Amino acid sequence: MAALYLEHSSGTKFWRFEWEGDTDVKISYGKVGSAGRTMTKSFASADEAQNYAEKQEAAKRKGGYDDAEDPNDPTTETTTTPTKAKQAKSVTPSPPKVAKTRGLGGYAAPEPHKIHQVDDGVAGIDAALASRAQVHDTLHARLALVDPSINSDKYYVLQVLVEEHPNKKAKSNSKTTKTSASQYHVFTRWGRTGTGGQCKMAGPFCDLDDAESEFAKIFKSKTGVVWEKAVPGRQPLTGKYEYLATKKTSTDSSDDDEDDGDGTWFYYLQNDPDGKSDGWYQYDKKNSAEVEDLFGTYVASNKPARLSRRVVTSGSSGFQYRVDLNAMTQTNTSSGTTRPIARTVDGHFPISLPPPPNKKKAAPKKKVVATSAKKPAAKATTKKASPQKKAPPPASASSVAATGGVGTVDDAASSGLKSCGKIYQDYNVMLNQTNLDHNNNKFYKIQLIESSSGNNYTVFTKWGRVGEAGKTQEQGPFADVDAGIKEFAKKFRSKTANKWEDYQEDKDSFQSKTGKYTVVEMEQDAAAAAAMVENVGAAKTFLPCQLDATTKELVDLIFNEDMFKSAMSQMKLDPKKLPLGALSQTQISKGFTVLEKLEEEIDNGATGATLSQLTSEFYTLIPHAFGRSRGPVLKTTEAVQAKYEMLNTLADIEAAQTMQRNVQSAAGDEDTQPHPSDANYQQLAADLTLLDPDKDDDHQLIESYFADTKAGAMKLRQVWRVDRHKEENRFAQHAKLTNRKLLWHGTNVAVVAAILKSGLRIMPHSGGRVGKGIYLADQHQKSAWYVSGAQGTILMFLVEAALGKEHEILTDDPSLTAAPTGYDSVLAKGRTQPPEEAELEIDGKSVTVPQGIPKAVPAAKSSAFDHNEFLVYKESQHRIRYILAFDG
């Protein structure tokens, strides 16, 4: 018999199995203290039964169950697992490594500046341990995941606790004296900022190395950063928690008086509906301490914009506030009321009154100038600025999706809900399930919609096959929000076999179950949606566009919504179920993880059943539209690589959408705003200079380069010089490398905005015939194989590559991740190449431009490559010099 237990906020759960003969297994499960449920499974052989039992036990342990002893269960005295020879083997641990989880309702939120002290939540699991343990000198961290646009602000606390032997006091709990302490525990706590949240304790560990390994594993899973290399206060990775700097961890030695002592916080009340006098009012003690801690991390990190806007849930009132530590305001997320706030370090009330709410003035006109790295461009022809135009008249209520806490009310909802409803808090979830063996590929959407009056609530559901409109149902209205929440949670659990409240507190707790739906995490940007609605409904004036007409067309194309949707459709993704920018980076990362498993299984010669199961898992995480057909199983390395590229494209589309959200967020409420094309152009952080075909020598050189090596009937339309901001400094580290060439790079129009913003990148999962690097070519026709156009336009780049000493190869070598020792780049030598060269001077350095109609290369007649392919394995070894538009 084997018995496993899981400590849970609702009570301890058990799972046991017993052998009944050689081929029958009896399974019992439930809450400790109850009879639970029992079922018996029969198998054809003892081996099948044994395999089943081992898999079940492994799955339970992965889900957090362990060999903890239950004092109410006498069977735990000798917990054993039968072997094939029916011999029992003890699995009683010494000491047991138990993961205990507790809810901390009623506990105060953790305080960041006390990260070096034992967290108050420890007492919620083990009061005795809380009184005698201490936090390890260095193994502790406070993390935060902040996204004010969706009113999301979460914390995560990590601590290694040192529990010294009562008869052997340690002089230090540092790693050098680890043997002086008896046991170590890894404590974690998480939740919405301002709330008690939940906590978990792992251990005890007899060795500090084991505890540190567990600590580092959790830290990396939350931040994406290796603990040994982590620096508090650094910009976090996209979709990951930030390792916060606090007054304790900050290395900033500034004399800013904002760091002197603990501050007291106040809010300014005006026109109070309850009749209170206008004036400053002090925060209650807990809320003041919470905001002070947020302010401390903001200052300790040198006041980055990403930490200036926090979302705090008041433990005393239950209200949620957006606190702007730069503008010094707080906004109730439910009512939208904004009030000034103030901080004093002496505890006295503020003396000054808050400034009156002045209307912001429109920014002065600023001409967008495209600059060249070589010489000033010929003056581009521009259209005379047209008179300022008003925005379209307000849209009717039914034509605009209502917005609320997180996301928008689904378009398929009844007209009353769309026009007068909004999403209640974060009660909005998209689920997906794909099973290729049964040709299942379906979605399920659940929303809790609050009426504009706040008097009733409706649970909206929509389901169907991915790529189709699906069916809908509305339940309610419920007069009580708790009744609506109960129905929402019931549907969530029914479809996923997970509890909504557990998922709401910690998304990482979600466990995908066979035959059930899986959550598709979406980037729900309610603030941006609200801004768009407001922009449609308000009569705003836009400044004339400062870009020349041709450059404006380029910018408009690479940010075009229909172009993005078309690109997604070509990849078999459904833009209706995955609205632009909606699939989160976290969800994309999960897709990469499954592809890695597929790649490994293919390399190991896996069977069709395994590949079908993993492919189904991938399509569940990244919904694809296959109509009524069965989706293809990913069973070759090439098929998996194509999906890697698809996810990279999807991530780049999300990057472009983020730029547009930044534009909408920055627009504010000014009556006069920059032209949208100008605003998008500024987001690129790159200067584009349109070349004159008749006056610019480099245009004529590029034109002949294209004409000699082109593919098919493509026609060159325009060329722009590109100067990406800050790229010059990065490229300068290779200033001593000679052998510089201007080379082609083809791409999808959908990723051009992201490339102009960030440069060409070596993706973690990229690869090809010459390994993992940036692929360039000296023939237009080679790079043209990789383009994907839109609206009759194809875009390509010409890149200056600092090649240095080239290592030549004639056969594929996909294992390469760097040039061999003594070399700076790799040249996969093609059987043909342009026979001539011209010189172009850029930034004072000579850059070779291949010229002439390609000819056979006798020395490479046995090469596996048709054309030359140049590989650099450092992103800093290239600089984008031109972007070209073609008719295609």
Active site amino acids: 869
Report how far residue 109's alpha carbon sits from residue 189's, in angstroms, rounded to the nearest whole number: 10
Tokens matching residue 266: 């106040």
Crossing angle for the helix pair 637-667 and 526-537, nearest 10 degrees? 50
DSSP 8-class letter at 182 = E
CB 411 within 8 A of CB 400: no
Total count of residues recorded for the chain: 888
Tokens matching residue 450: 């609050």
Report how far residue 281's alpha carbon sits from residue 219's, in angstroms, rounded to the nearest whole number: 39
Q: How far is CA 781 from the centre of its chain?
A: 36
Report how far residue 262's alpha carbon sits from residue 652's, in angstroms, rounded to the nearest whole number: 43
- Cα 384 to Cα 25, 362, 540, 546: the distances in Å are 83, 21, 21, 10
Helix (H), strand (E) counts: the chain: 19, 39
411 by DSSP, 3-state: which?
Answer: coil
DSSP 8-class letter at 624 = B
Report how far residue 120's alpha carbon sits from residue 830's, in angstroms, rounded to the nearest whole number: 66
Measure the CA angle with vertex 219, ends 217 and 220; round to 5°: 65
The shares of helix, strand and coil residues in the chain, as percent rounded to the nearest 5, are 30, 30, 40
The residues facing 493 across adjacent strands are: none
CB 434 within 8 A of CB 443: no
Report how far residue 590's alpha carbon sits from residue 592's, in angstroms, rounded to the nearest whole number: 5
Handedness of CA 299, 304, 305, 307 (dihedral sign): negative
To which residue do tokens 């080679």 refer? 782
CB 564 within 8 A of CB 750: yes
Report how far residue 61's alpha carbon sits from residue 5's, in angstroms, rounded to the nearest whole number: 9
Report how far residue 113's alpha carbon sits from residue 129's, in angstroms, rounded to the nearest whole number: 21
Residues contacting residue 365 through CB under 8 Å, at least 6 positions apart: 543, 546
- Cα 378 to Cα 356, 691, 692: the distances in Å are 48, 7, 6
Amino acid identity of residue 315, one-letter, is G
CB 566 within 8 A of CB 616: no
Question: Quick one: which H or E segment has residue 518?
Answer: strand 518-520
DSSP 8-class letter at 519 = E
CB 698 within 8 A of CB 859: no
Report how far residue 764's alpha carbon sits from residue 588's, in angstroms, rounded to the nearest whole number: 13
DSSP 8-class letter at 235 = P
224 by DSSP, 3-state: which?
Answer: coil
Question: What's the first-to-final CA gap in the chain, in angstroms?
Answer: 70
How many CA atoms within 13 Å lie on the side-chain side of 779?
A: 23
β-pairing, 806-809 vs 198-205, is unpaired
Residues contacting residue 136 through CB under 8 Å, at least 6 positions apart: 159, 160, 161, 162, 173, 174, 184, 208
How many CA atoms within 13 Å lie on the side-chain side of 253?
A: 0
105 by DSSP, 3-state: which?
Answer: coil
To which residue do tokens 């009556």 refer? 671
